[in-house]
Amino acid sequence: MNRNQLGALLHPSGIAVIGASDDPNKIGGRPIAYLKKYGYRGKIYPVNPKYAEVQQLKCYPSITDVPAEIDLAIIAIPGAHVLDTLHECGRKKVKSVIIFSSGFAELGEEGRSRQREIGKIAEMYGMRIVGPNCQGVANFSIGSLATFSTTFAEGQLEVGPTAIISQSGAVSAMLYNIRKKYGRGSKYWIGTGNEADVNVAELLDCIVDDPDVRVLQLYMEDVKNAGALIAAAGKARERNKPILALKSGRTAEGSQAAQSHTGAMASEDIVFDAVFDNYGIVRLDSVVELAVFSQLFELPNRPKGNRVAVITNSGGLGVMLIDHCKEMGLELARLSEETRQRLAGVLPAFASVRNPVDVATHFLNDRELLAKLLPILTADAGVDIVVIGLGVVGRGYDVPAMIEHIVQYQGNNDAVVAFLGVGCQDDVIASFSRSGVPAFDDPVLCVKAISKYVAYHLDRREAQEEKAATHGATVKPALPKTAGFLSEYEGKRLLKEWGMPVTREMLCADEEEAVRAAATIGYPVVMKISSPYVQHKTDIGGVELNIRDEPQAREAYRRLMENGDRHVGKDNIDGVLVQEMITDRGFEISLGVKRDPAFGPVVMVASGGIYIEVLKDFRLLVPPVTKAKARKAVESLIMAPLLKGARGKKAFDVDALCDAIVSFASLVTQTDAIEEADLNPVIVREQGKGVAVVDCVLKLTSEGA
């Protein structure tokens, strides 16, 4: 990626508009009108062979006639002429291009092929190209509105500390407009369309460096550059610049629609969950959440915890807020005795000095009420967040005074104050919001925003505290030389070298050896056929369980060899694996690998047995997998309560399980050698007794070999 070229896109000192129109309502006319309207100070070069002047500006017959270097060219001509024009731009050494024109990947195979051409042209000339089929790129701080979005046809620009980076210009426009109603603005406004070259992740990675940007608001249907996304997320977390993302195409049907909308690639949605979770990207569930939750994330305040105190004028609203808080993982702050006494000192007798603090009508009597309540509540070490949840704020409420008290207060304190107004007079919410107080009109959105905000900060603190645990061994163990499936024995040797506990076992070439091995390991034992050609051993009668003595062992050996010979031929059998049988109580886990087209190998941790089938009880882990992340994944399994020792039994050895997961993850993600893996079952024994991989199927990639 060439940063300078994205720089020319985001901070252009001169913009050409190819297909310029004198009509400010035409696609080729709008960007010129916007650039003029919003005070762009750079040069504007209309290009159109039909005109000498466009919107009072000199017009050039072609891009090559423009007598200057061009940072950014907008292409607003029919799709059929786009490729030729791009070559012209390339020859003119235009640094970046935005293609408004449609008629590419969104139209099927022929269009996809022409779109691939665009990518090649970008590479050929070292020219960065946004689009095709996009609404453009705007940097409000310099008035460079290289867009035809009708959103900017009227009104004032709302400039602010976020960047809206979206694959859909229409969604960017929705986000911008919703924010505008809250009196909030952005610095960047971007719709990348089909992403033949420049994509959302790359722009994110660039814009996260901009000191003016506090919060990044992404809309995406896929990711074209997973590396850039992850790099950007790392920087963003380091610098406390929250990335809020709406990734749509969550459902199979939505994902299909996304493919026909922007030609989205088919990463599984659950992988995004894991990636976002791992890199601290805040995933939101709707366009409204993406627009309004940002208010909280724009605050410099860092909540210490998740304990909420509520000030309300309605007992009913108080009850609702508590329900919403509890349901979204927030706790109700317990006010100290001292706090309650101090509250009683400033509130009338009819008010409640518990949490929620119900002041009833007292805002009507005391305009300084918030100035009194906020210091008391936030002085309580048990309070992390204050929600002022009021119904029907209108006549009699001194809104400017309330805002002043919150703003003053929030500026001098790490406690977070949010305003919720339900059924209020028309401009109440916007008044708060415009003044920097996060404000909401729906209790659910308010509480969910707080819950996401708190989770972001707690996660960020955790991430700072833990260093990504890398595998203990500085020299990586060697991988087997061959690609393809390993026998269980080979697989387990590999796992063991990477630090995973496996069952004690010996590979035996003949019956006598097997009998000696069984005696060494100690009865009861398990015996299994060993062959890289047999992945499903039980299907061919290749497993003998619970062998209790020598005669049984001899019998089992013969049966296994017979079955093996019948199915894969004697020559393809390595021998018989004699294995300890784990007879004590254990909990079954399975570990696997999922290979994502964008994000590469991802580790899957699942409850064993029927749970994974019926309950889909699994979690994904993306690298780097730390022990804390492993523990979080394990503890969020549906069956996790059983691991803690349900029914009064002893807990299972979760600690050893997490170590094993970290080891497995390092093998998977550090080597990229594992094409498929199914470690199943991994038996988690009682606390202190560790875990053991009992069976495994591993397939190596050719890269790994």
How many CB atoms within 10 Å of residue 87? 13
Residue from 375, 391, 477, 541 that binds its own copies (CB under 8 A)?
Answer: 391
In the bound complex, what is the minimum distance in angstroms from residue 460's beta carbon to its own copies? 27
The nearest distance, CB 360 to its own copies, in angstroms, is 9
What is the token pair recorded at 499? 């630090």
The distance in angstroms from the start CA to the end CA of the chain is 31
Using rule CB under 8 A, residue 444 touches its own copies? yes
Cα(233)–Cα(238) distance, integer angstroms: 8
Query: Which residue among 83, 159, 257, 458 contacts its own copies (CB under 8 A)?
Result: 257
Dihedral sign computed on CA atoms, order 55, 58, 63, 68: negative
Of 126 and 641, the one with the shorter C-beta distance to its own copies is 641
Per CB under 8 A, contacts with its own copies among 455-484 are: none
Q: In this chain, which of 78, 108, 126, 316 binds its own copies, going by CB under 8 A?
A: 316
Task: For the segment 632-661, give every residue that binds its own copies (CB under 8 A).
Answer: 638-639, 641-642, 646-647
In the bound complex, what is the minimum distance in angstroms from residue 306's beta carbon to its own copies? 13
Q: In what order do the strands lie in the sheet with 144-147?
A: 144-147, 136-139, 186-191, 159-166, 215-220, 243-247, 282-283
Residue 477 φ/ψ, nearest 5 degrees? -60, 150
Of residues 586-625, which lie at the interface with its own copies (CB under 8 A)?
Answer: 610, 613-615
To the nearest whole angstrom, how small is the minimum distance from the Cβ of residue 212 to its own copies? 23
Half-sphere exposure of 152 (CA within 13 A, CB side): 32
- Looking only at the bridges linking them, the beta strands covering 331-332 and 357-358 are unpaired
The answer to whether 98 touches 30, Cβ cutoff 8 Å, is: no
| CB nearer its own copies, residue 96 or residue 151 | 151
CB of 407 to its own copies, least distance (A): 25
Each residue 351-380 as x (binds its own copies by CB under 8 A) or -, in order, gives -x-x-x-x----------------------
Q: Is 400 in the site for its own copies (CB under 8 A)?
A: no
- Given a contact cutoff of 8 angstroms between Cβ atoms, the answer to whether 686 and 645 are in contact is no
Q: Which of 21, 144, 166, 531 binds its own copies (CB under 8 A)?
A: 166
Partners of 607 in beta bridges: 589
109 near its own copies (CB under 8 A) = no
Q: List phi, psi (to 5°) of 56.
A: 65, 15
Q: How far is the CB of 685 from its own copies (least distance, A)?
A: 18
User: Interacting stretch for its own copies, rule CB under 8 A, among 7-15, 399-407, 440-448, 690-698?
Assistant: 440-448
CB of 248 to its own copies, least distance (A): 5
Vertex 3 angle, CA 127 and 165, to 5°: 90
* Segment 325 to 344, residues that bind its own copies, using CB under 8 A: 325-327, 332
Answer for which of 132, 303, 443, 532 binds its own copies (CB under 8 A) is: 443
Does 253 bind its own copies (CB under 8 A)? Our answer is: yes
Q: Which one among 2, 113, 150, 470 touches its own copies, defined by CB under 8 A?
A: 150
- Closest CB to its own copies among 153 and 381? 153
Tell me the number of residues near its own copies by CB under 8 A. 81
Query: Judged by CB under 8 A, does residue 514 bind its own copies?
Result: no
10 Å Cβ neighbour count for 489? Answer: 22
Q: And the tokens for 621?
A: 């882990």
- CB contact burial 654-669 (16+ within 10 A = b; e otherwise): bbbbbbbbbbbbbbbb
Applying CB under 8 A, among 231, 265, 266, 288 the residue interacting with its own copies is 288
Q: Which two tokens stand for residue 502?
A: 């496996």
Q: Which position among 98, 163, 174, 518 is part of the footprint of its own copies (CB under 8 A)? A: 174
H or E element in which residue 403 lies: helix 399-411
Distances from the Cα of 177 to the Cα of 165, 173, 207, 431, angstroms? 14, 6, 21, 16
- Based on the shown chain and the rule CB under 8 A, indicate whether residue 248 belongs to the binding site for its own copies: yes
Those residues with Cβ within 8 angstroms of residue 233's Cβ, 6 or more apart along the chain or in another chain: 243, 279, 280, 281
Give the 3-state secondary structure of residue 674. Answer: strand
Q: Which of residues 29-58 bind its own copies (CB under 8 A)?
A: none
Q: Give residues 202-221 in contact with its own copies (rule: CB under 8 A).
A: 219, 221
Candidates 177-185, 449-457, 522-530, 664-672; binding stretch for its own copies (CB under 8 A) = 177-185
> Using the rule CB under 8 A, is 551 a contact of its own copies?
no
* Candidate list 101, 144, 167, 192; residue touching its own copies; CB under 8 A: 167
CB of 423 to its own copies, least distance (A): 3
Q: Which member of 4, 156, 177, 365 binds its own copies (CB under 8 A)? A: 177
Report the relative pairing of strands 439-440 and 416-422 from DSSP bridges: parallel
If binding is defined by CB under 8 A, does position 153 make contact with its own copies?
A: yes
Shortest gap between Cβ of 268 and its own copies (angstroms)? 14
Q: Can you tell me the distance from the alpha carbon of 296 to that of 446, in angstroms, rounded to the nearest whole number?
A: 10
CB of 342 to its own copies, least distance (A): 20
DSSP conformational letter for 423: S
Write down the least CB distance from residue 318 to its own copies, Å.
6
Beta-carbon contacts of 356 under 8 Å, excluding residues fewer than 6 positions away, are: 309, 310, 311, 312, 315, 318, 319, 321, 322, 389
306 binds its own copies (CB under 8 A): no
- According to CB under 8 A, which one of 441, 505, 544, 588 is a site residue for its own copies? 441
